[in-house]
Amino acid sequence: MAGPMAVVFDCDGVLASNGSSWQSIHESFGTENKEMFTRFVNREIDDDEFMADDVSKWMGKRGRIHKDDIARCYSGVRLMSGAREVVEKLQKRGVLVAIVSSGVDIFVGMVASMLKVDDWIANGFEWDEDGWMVGPLPSRVLSFEKGIAVEKFRRINDLMPEEIISVGDSGSDISMRIEGSRFIGFNPSASWSLDAFKSASVPIVESNDLRSIWPLLFEGEGF
Ligand SMILES: [Mg+2]
CA of 54 to the centre of ligand 1 (A): 18
Gap between the Cα atoms of 29 and 48, Å rounded = 20
CA of 124 to the centre of ligand 1 (A): 16
Gap between the Cα atoms of 64 and 62, Å rounded = 5
pLDDT band at 2 (very low <50, low <70, confident <90, very high): confident
The per-residue DSSP string of the chain comes to -PPPSEEEE-SBTTTBSSS-HHHHHHHHHT---HHHHHHHHTTSS-HHHHHHHHHHHHHHHHSS-BHHHHHHTTTT--BPBTHHHHHHHHHHTT-EEEEEEEEEHHHHHHHHHHHT-SEEEEE-EEE-TTSBEEEEPPPSS-TT-THHHHHHHHHHTT--GGGEEEEESSGGGGGG--TT-EEEEES--SHHHHHHHHHTT--EE--SBGGGGHHHHTTT---
> Considering the domain boundaries, does residue 180 fall inside one?
yes
Check residue 183 and give its pLDDT.
98
Q: Identify the CATH number of the domain in which residue 94 sits.
A: 3.40.50.1000
Q: Please write the tens of the pLDDT for every residue from 55-90.
A: 999 999 999 999 999 999 999 889 999 999 999 999
| 1 has pLDDT over 80 | no
- Prediction pTM value: 0.96
Residues 86 and 193 in one domain: yes
Domains in the chain, number: 2
CA of 150 to the centre of ligand 1 (A): 15
CA of 155 to the centre of ligand 1 (A): 24
Range of the domain at 46: 23-72
Residues 45 and 95 in one domain: no
> Considering the domain boundaries, does residue 223 fall inside one?
no
| 220 has pLDDT over 90 | no
Q: Please write the tens of the pLDDT for every residue from 101-124.
A: 999 999 999 999 999 999 999 999
Check residue 77 and give its pLDDT.
86
Residues 196 and 108 in one domain: yes
Residues 67 and 82 in one domain: no
> Considering the domain boundaries, does residue 1 fall inside one?
no
| 125 has pLDDT over 70 | yes
> Considering the domain boundaries, does residue 172 fall inside one?
yes
Q: Please write the tens of the pLDDT for every residue from 127-162.
A: 999 999 999 999 999 999 999 999 999 999 999 999
Residues 57 and 98 in one domain: no
Residues 43 and 98 in one domain: no
CA of 105 to the centre of ligand 1 (A): 14
Mean pLDDT score across all residues of the chain = 96
